[in-house]
Amino acid sequence: MKRTKFLLVFLLLVLPACEDYVNNVDPFIDRVVDAELNTPSQIPLLRIGLINQGYQSLDYVLLMSDGLSDALIWDQKLAGATYAGFRQLEETVLNDLNGETNGSYYDVQQTRVLADTLIYRVNNVTLSDQVKNDALYAAYFWGAYARYLLGTYWGKDENTGGATVNVSRFMPTSVLYADAVNRYKEALKYTTVALNIKIINSLIARCYFFLNDYTSAPTYLNLGLAKGDAPLLATYIPVPSAAENAYRAQASDELRIQWRVDARFQGYVTAEATEANRIKYRNYRTTTMLEQRMYIGTSTTASTPIPLIDWQEVSLMKAELMVRGSMAGDPLAVINDVRASHTVKALAAGTTVVLKSPTSAQVGIYEERDKELFVRGLRLIDQRRFDSFHISYGWKYFPTPLVEKVKNPDWNR
């Protein structure tokens, strides 16, 4: 009983003192409370952070897409090839515990969350027109691009593309693309920069193009990037940062090499030597294996950026639609413009343009896209569009992560 009374007295004396002590602690200096970001001074910083997050979230997606396709080969003969998740991509036998694809999924979702949250923040503070427009342009743009990535590269099974957003039910690619298009169009309201307008129209056109909507795509292609326009580039911070361009980080002997280039690209160059001006590779050490040289150190401090959209890709979309009868024009002339931009030998007058598998007197859109869009994460989509997957079984999308499915029981309803 005496011990109990003593304990009560002790607690009565100590607890108020503890309360006073806790209440007088200095504020944290290593973190920012969310509400403190809703201020005019923070909005420009959040915009820059969103753009950087966007770039850093997509390079592994593009690399792994090329690995799942027939563009890159994961080969244990390469010195650095050890990731089990990359082996799954190579074999097209994936599961929802794949650490590589799951990590990129959450990176892309983080970009989406930052973009969507920035819209809320901007609309709840007083800003100058310039700061507001710049922030909303970035927010709608990256919100759209994140949804494009989710709809293009992830799926609920081997052949069904799509993802969830904000603990939603599964949203198929067409729904995510529709949302992306709407957000791209909203971004157009906040820019007067001619190049930005062309880039967004090009990305809208790509969404329709990948959905095989050949009626809607031409309208936006005609408003998109034209010959000589600058591309949209994903840039990366200096070496030896861990944020290095993923192609250079994982598919180049300059850093670590786990992926080699498929041998057919050497065949393109053997057939036409000037193709080496746009299909860049070299032999890996003293072997016959090939490593990409598109993304390399341009100096001792930086690596080559990744083109996310350029006028050459827009031109090849137009050429394909011309062959399909959805646009007017001369597809051979368009293809030769693209080739000339890399000093690749022009195709002879009278060459017939077909969609795929050309004879000696023909050129194929499928093959020209393979050369022009070398290691840019687009080959997988073309294989799906042309029903030309290199393996008769397996995943053509990255699986929805297990954690996402566990936390979101409605995901597959």
CATH code, domain with 89: 1.25.40.390
Residue 26: inside a domain: no
Same domain, 196 and 284: no
- As given in the structure block, the two tokens for residue 26 are 């200095």
The residues that bridge with 163 in the sheet, in sequence order, are 171
Lowest mean pLDDT among 62-66, 210-214, 232-236, 342-346: 232-236
Give the separation between CA 27 and CA 56, rounded to whole angstroms.
31
- As given in the structure block, the two tokens for residue 224 are 């998109």
Same domain, 78 and 121: yes
Does 7 score more than 60 pLDDT?
A: no
Average pLDDT for the chain:
91
> Using one digit for the tens of pLDDT, what is the confidence trace for 324-377?
999 999 999 999 999 999 999 999 999 999 999 999 999 999 999 999 999 999
- Answer whether 60's CB lies under 8 Å from 85's CB: no
Domain enclosing residue 356, as ranges: 246-295+308-385
- As given in the structure block, the two tokens for residue 106 are 């959450």
Same domain, 95 and 59: yes
- As given in the structure block, the two tokens for residue 206 are 């790509």
Same domain, 80 and 126: yes
Residue 140: inside a domain: yes
Task: Determine the pLDDT at residue 11.
Answer: 45
Task: Determine the pLDDT at residue 404.
Answer: 92
Give the separation between CA 133 and CA 389, rounded to whole angstroms.
43
Band (pLDDT 50/70/90 cuts) for residue 36 is low
CATH code, domain with 263: 1.25.40
> Using one digit for the tens of pLDDT, what is the confidence trace for 245-266?
899 999 999 889 999 999 999 9
Residue 3: inside a domain: no
Give the separation between CA 74 and CA 20, rounded to whole angstroms.
60
> Using one digit for the tens of pLDDT, what is the confidence trace for 163-216?
999 889 999 999 999 999 999 999 999 999 999 999 999 999 999 999 999 999
- As given in the structure block, the two tokens for residue 119 are 């819209």
Q: What pTM was computed for the model?
A: 0.91
Mean pLDDT throughout 108-117?
97
Residue 13: inside a domain: no
Same domain, 268 and 376: yes
Number of separate domains in the chain: 2
Same domain, 364 and 331: yes
DSSP calls for 35-72: GGGSSTTTHHHHHHHHHHHHHHHHHHHHHHHHHHTTSE
Residue 301: inside a domain: no
Residue 19: inside a domain: no
User: Do β-strands 352-354 and 362-364 pair in parallel, antiparallel, or remain unpaired?
Assistant: parallel
> Using one digit for the tens of pLDDT, what is the confidence trace for 280-337?
999 999 999 999 999 988 666 677 899 999 999 999 999 999 999 999 999 999 999 9
Residue 274: inside a domain: yes
Residue 122: inside a domain: yes
